[in-house]
Amino acid sequence: MPKSDLLDPQGKAVAGALGRLGHSTITDVRIGKRFELTVEGEVTEQILADVATLADEIFSNQVIEDVTSIRVEEAQA
Amino acid sequence: MTHRIGVVTFPGSLDDRDAQRAIRIAGAEPVALWHADHDLQGVDAIVLPGGFSYGDYLRAGAIAARAPIMTEVISAANAGMPVLGICNGFQMLTEAHLLPGGLIRNEKGNFIRRDQGLIVESTDTAWSNAFTQGQEIVIPLKNGEGGFIASNEELDRLEGEGRVVFRYSGVNPNGSMRDIAGISNAAGNVVGLMPHPEHAVEPGFGPDTADAMRSGTDGLGFFASALTALLAV
């Protein structure tokens, strides 16, 4: 997610549109990214640790973004 | 001896040819470098050009910053070679951690293209020594993600160490903190900025000036600076 203290112009534009559509209860919108990674077999502690490093070093730029969550899901057959 | 300045072309680079042309007009020999090589071909300085490398996927400059040739660019930069990042190249330099801070989408969400006034804040770099401190120059600016951001602590450090090299004059076009248009590393050999000096090097094709339409050539000073820096080595 973009850091909370930085302006998110995309989210701001969407929030403005929602306001115009009458959704006045929504006061703010922020837009982030979601990466879905697939691995063969079990998600081991090692793989999770690697993914956490990748999330910090490549998927996000810590100067402008925060990693908010990493979670494991079973692939749909 | 003619100095050789390399320009790295990435998939999606747009201004690599203009940068090569600017280098030639400034009196050096441009050398085309390729992102997938591990070879700087013995160049004396490097320009990372503007464009939309890798479609700006992930983040602007993020994938290019991890391209094969960047291993050599980063070592050369750390060893003192002059490196200039223009626009997308500036974004790459921040993503490669050669320069601090980051660039985010323009404050108003629009892509901005204008002839932009800049104040030269530091002439103590390899790419700004041909100017005088406080000089106002005009070169084109064209970006969608040019908002420079950094923590207050980082901004104070940059200001304190005289590493804010260019500041927007008149209008802050993209919401950059403290009107910062370009910065340098501590040694002054690596400079990144959002506006495009390579588009203001030839009368007839630059910004308008009081003298004549399209006659602005303020961008030449960047490349002339690099040549001076190389002679001093």
Q: Are B15 and B198 in contact (CB under 8 A)?
A: yes
What stretches of B26-123 show up as alpha helix (H) in DSSP?
Answer: 68-78, 88-95
Nearest to A9 among B58, B95, B105 (CB): B105
Q: Do A63 and B175 touch (CB under 8 A)?
A: no
Residue B36: closest CA among B4, B5, B7, B8: B8
- Predicted confidence band of residue A7 (pLDDT cuts 50, 70, 90): confident
pLDDT value of residue A10: 87
B35 is catalytic: no
Report pLDDT digits (tens) over A23-66.
989 999 999 999 999 999 999 999 999 999 999 999 999 999 99
Distance from the A6 Cα atom to the nearest Cα atom in chain B, whole angstroms: 8
Distance from the A65 Cα atom to the nearest Cα atom in chain B, whole angstroms: 10
Q: Annotated catalytic residue: which of B87, B121, B145, B202? A: B87
Residues of A with CB under 8 A from a CB of B: 2, 6-7, 9-10, 12-13, 58-59, 61, 63-64
Residue appearing with tokens 């998600």 = A43
Cα nearest neighbour of B145 on chain A: A9
Distances (CA, A) of B140 to B39, B168, B205: 31, 12, 11
Give the pLDDT of chain B (233 residues) as one tens digit per residue. Answer: 699 999 999 999 999 999 999 999 999 999 999 999 999 999 999 999 999 999 999 999 999 999 999 999 999 999 999 999 999 999 999 999 999 999 999 998 899 999 999 999 999 999 999 999 999 999 999 999 999 999 999 999 999 999 999 999 999 999 999 999 999 999 999 999 999 999 999 999 999 999 999 999 999 999 999 999 999 87
Alpha carbon dihedral B48, B77, B104, B116, in 10-degree steps, equals: -60
> Sign of the C-alpha dihedral, residues B49, B51, B54, B57?
positive
Q: Annotated catalytic residue: which of B95, B121, B145, B198? A: B198
Q: Do B104 and A58 touch (CB under 8 A)?
A: no
Which fold would CATH assign to domain B4-232? Rossmann fold (3.40.50)
- β-pair type (B180-184, B164-168): antiparallel
Distance from the B106 Cα atom to the nearest Cα atom in chain A, whole angstroms: 7
CB atoms within 10 A of CB B125: 28
Q: Do A9 and B108 touch (CB under 8 A)?
A: yes
B198 is catalytic: yes
pLDDT value of residue B232: 84
pLDDT value of residue B35: 97
Question: Helix, strand or coil for residue B2?
Answer: coil
How far is residue B117's CA from residue B209's CA, in Å, rounded to a whole number?
A: 11
Q: Are B185 and B99 in contact (CB under 8 A)?
A: yes
Residue B183 β-bridge partners: B164, B192
Nearest to B149 among A13, A58, A64 (CB): A64
Q: Using the CB atoms, write b or e for A43-54: b if 16+ within 10 Å.
A: eeeeeeeebeee
Residue appearing with tokens 């980063």 = B74
Distances (CA, A) of B150 to A75, B50, B102, B169, B211: 39, 21, 6, 20, 38
Cα nearest neighbour of A5 on chain B: B151
Parse chain B into domains and list their residue ranges: 4-232
Span A13-32, average pLDDT:
94
B157 contacts chain A (CB < 8 A): no
pLDDT value of residue A77: 63
How far is residue B68's CA from residue B47's CA, in Å, rounded to a whole number?
A: 16
**Secondary structure percentages of chain B, helix, strand, coil, to 5:** 25, 25, 45
Cα B223 → chain centroid: 11
B87 is catalytic: yes
Structure tokens at B218: 């303020």
